[in-house]
Amino acid sequence: MTRILGIDPGLLHTGWAVVDTAGASRKYIASGVILPPAKLSLAQRLAFIFRGVSDLCEQFSPDQCSIEVIFVNVNPKTTLVLGQARAAAIVAVAARDIPVFEYEPNKIKKALCAAGHADKEQVYKMVRMLLPAARPKTPDESDAIAIALAHSNMSRFL
């Protein structure tokens, strides 16, 4: 059995999910969203994400982590800040010697929905179909579950 921590990074909403996988079997463990208060400075929000992901690693002891690669937005400043949030999550995991696997959004969608340009609703439906116990409340949480599931599917070929 392998325990995967899936992370959908964001400065205001960092989705996370824990999924156990063994062969073709998948089991939903937990999921949620790390919500740094918007009133905090950038540095404080990054520290909040770092501590939140660190706490998840302590609580769930993942064997591997999968995280979404950031695509370049129209606004370069947004891309840069999102990259910093992603880095805070990666460092929290990597500091515990947990391997980190990175996937582009279209590869995650293709691994789950067989379509690289699936919309959020299609991803949500596949998450619910593959893991009926998962009941994501936000798109960030649903995406984190999808990231963990995509890794469980693709890691068999690594």
Give the CATH number of the domain where residue 6 resides.
Answer: 3.30.420.10
What is the residue whose two structure tokens read 């990074």? 9
Q: What's the rounded Cα separation, in Å, for the pair 95 and 109?
A: 28
Q: Is residue 2 very low, low, confident or very high in pLDDT (cuts 50, 70, 90)?
A: very high
Report for 79-88, 106-115, 147-156: range of highest mean pLDDT: 79-88
Which amino acid is located at 35 in the chain? Answer: L
* Positions marked catalytic: 8, 68, 140
> What pLDDT score does 39 carry?
95
* Residue 71 neighbours by CB distance under 10 Å: 10
> What's the pLDDT at 72?
67
Q: Give pLDDT, residue 115.
A: 63
Global pTM?
0.92
pLDDT of amino acid 28: 96
Task: State which residues form the domain around 52.
Answer: 2-157
Sequence letter at residue 79: T
pLDDT score, position 116: 59
| 8-47 pLDDT, tens digit each | 999 999 999 999 999 889 999 999 999 999 999 999 999 9
pLDDT above 80 (res 156): no
Chain segment 55-98, per-residue pLDDT in tens: 999 999 999 999 998 876 777 888 888 899 999 999 999 999 99
Beta strands in the chain (DSSP E): 2-8, 14-22, 25-34, 64-68, 100-103
- Mean pLDDT for the stretch of residues 137-150: 94
Residues 112-136: what's their mean pLDDT?
A: 82
Number of domains making up the chain: 1
Which pLDDT does position 157 carry in this prediction?
A: 52
